Amino acid sequence: MKKIIIFSGTTEGRTLSTLLTQRRIPHVVCVASAYGGEMMEDSTFAELHIGRMDAEEMKQFLSARISGAEGMVVDATHPYATEVTANIKLAAEAQGVPYLRVVRGASDAAPGDMAVYSDIRACAEAMDQTSGNILLTTGSKELRAYCEVVSEETRKRTYVRVLPTMSSLEQCISEGIEGDHIIAMHGPFTRECNEAILRQYDIRHLVTKDSGTAGGFLAKAEAAEAATVQLHVIARPVEEEGVSLKEAERVLLSLLSECQESGSIPEVSIVGMGMGSSGCRLLMAEEALHAADAVFGASRLLEGLKDIPEVRKYAMYRAEEIIPVLERECFNRVVILYSGDTGFYSGARKMLRALKEWKPDLQVEMFPGISSFSYLAAKLGESYEDAALFSLHGKNSEADFGALLGEVRHHSKVFALLSGPEDVPEIAKRLLAAGIEGSISVGTDLSGEGEQIDTYSLSEAESFRREGISTVLIRNSVPEKRVLLPVKRDTEFLRDRIPMTKECIRHESILRLELREGDVLYDIGGGTGSVAIEAAALSSSLKVYTIERKPEAAALIRENLKNTGTENVTVIEGEAPAALSGLPKPDAVFIGGSGGNLREILETLTAMGTGTRYVINAVSMETIGEIRELLKDYPAEDERTVMIAVSDVREVGSHHLLQAQNPVWIFSFSI
């Protein structure tokens, strides 16, 4: 890796250091004072050296860090620091290291009546011939030479603006500057600020250096003109050869791009390519591609880049393949391609996470693409804001097809991405078996030369055989309305001799769990699975784990899951709390049976973290008492308890009699 040492203390030095830091390039920054160090951006990539060095010390400093043409010494010191610049140049030459001087241009817009002096002493002699207050803005380093020349009377009418550091203040005091004549401030100073100071202290003469626009010279000159103050300028010692800040930035970036060991990280763009044809690429994607050094993506996407032949192409789209290449090579701009739209059933989000884990400070820009859904909808003259959107791409399990069937059952339109053409007849067969009436529009190789879009009845779609990448629109002629409160009857569950939480108790218990979308729910003591299945029916986004220690009961739960078509419940066969190991932290927990391990179960659950909602059912007086005692040991919130007694009505001859169920206590609380 190239080694770069910046001698700073100016805006230019700080800017160059920031440029390297943004690209995660380790470098060294040298400043003369602690105050200069405080002005630098805090960065793990910038090693900061504070302290003045003479010529010999600079040689030793460089010798310990750099030699030959392995890097560069950048001199971004102040234009008036001629001795420092000479020492830096000599030290770099002694080590055979390339030297780059960053020159701040002199101001080209200044009052024509300003007075110019060769040095501070010549200016001080002229000040003795003036009257009125003087503002000296040449810094504390020049103060001693000024005070050695001027008379006592001139010194007393001189105000000094210096940096707010102890060394600057001590220098002023040692030269006999009164405290009320010291203006300790840090710039940059605007024209308005300068003018306000000139007027506040009734200044008639402003002494400054020509530090260029970046050093605030123009703002001082304009303020002096506005306040009718005479401007006195210390001329630059010599006309220097060097480069501008912008040129220095280009030199450094060019130097770094020559390296084979990548010390920087590239600018990364994740680009959605739409359906893949160049005619469907957005302009922003075009610009990113034409600016890239390297492009990563699936082979079929790279084949569509024949119009960009000069870029290096890598047929890979997984983070574990791409990141090692980025570490090995030295790219400035990289594009990673994904089909369709980056925010729509895309691997782009997973790639973004992986890149951020690799380099947390990596800046990644994402560009959208035209999704096959929006393209197919446009071709068919359909809208898709009122449609359900689904993806079977890379997914063809029973649960996936079951979830698609559930969407079609309740929507008049469903757009779906497919894994392959064989999915079309499979979908049609399942829809017909479910008694659904409708049609399927199939778009194959959308936007390509072989694009074909046709609409089939469900029976016709059973014979679909066309090869190619397919997207479908499934129409349901008579969609079912969703049940707003999907409660289940006891008669919907197989029971055998397994205990089951009855309807009314089950409904009330689930209500008190206060489930939210995306929650993780534990059902401990699953029994028949009635609580888990009814809760899971509230939202497909729920992840439900039902824990059951009896093998025959676990088998019954699986059968009930199959009969009810429930896909978002996982059966954990084992005894709690041991069976909870490895499961994600729950948002809600229902305990219908603890097997005598209630205290141990609560200890395990609370160790996972706080913010969990609990509902516990109890029938026996012993369990009720145990729960009451446990709640004394835990900081439970929002505690509520209800006892429900339910009686069924049964017919006995010509009469209807009440048949009482066991009263059930329902405890709910949060920990």
Residue % of the chain over a pLDDT of 90: 50
pLDDT at 65 over 90: no
Q: pLDDT category, 261, cuts 50, 70, 90?
A: very low
pLDDT at 32 over 60: yes
pLDDT at 258 over 70: no
Token pair, residue 460, equals: 């016709």
Q: Tell me, what's the pLDDT at 266? A: 79
**Average pLDDT over every residue of 354-374:** 90
Q: pLDDT category, 214, cuts 50, 70, 90?
A: low
Higher pLDDT, 257 or 294: 294
pLDDT at 614 over 90: yes
Burial of 35 (0-12, 13-18, 19+ CB in 10 A): middle
Residue % of the chain over a pLDDT of 70: 93
**N-term to C-term CA, the chain:** 54
Higher pLDDT, 632 or 308: 632
Q: pLDDT category, 419, cuts 50, 70, 90?
A: confident
Order of strands across the sheet that contains 333-338: 312-314, 294-296, 333-338, 267-272, 364-367
pLDDT at 215 over 80: no
- Give the pLDDT confidence of 286-313 residue by residue, as tens digits: 888 888 878 999 988 888 887 776 678 8
Q: Tell me, what's the pLDDT at 262? A: 44
CA distance 16 to 249: 7
CA distance 461 to 437: 13
Torsion of CA 619, 621, 623, 628, to 10 degrees: 120
Q: Tell me, what's the pLDDT at 252? A: 82
Other CB atoms within 10 Å distance of the CB of residue 556: 23
Q: Are 345 and 393 in contact (CB under 8 A)?
A: yes
pLDDT at 401 over 80: yes
- Give the pLDDT confidence of 453-504 residue by residue, as tens digits: 999 999 999 999 998 889 999 999 999 887 777 778 888 888 888 888 888 9
Farthest-apart Cα atoms in the chain, separation: 129
Query: Going by C-beta distance under 8 Å and a sequence separation of 6 or more, which residues neighbour residue 598?
Result: 591, 616, 623, 626, 627, 630
Is beta strand 664-670 parallel, antiparallel or unpaired with respect to 613-618? Answer: antiparallel
Q: pLDDT category, 70, cuts 50, 70, 90?
A: low
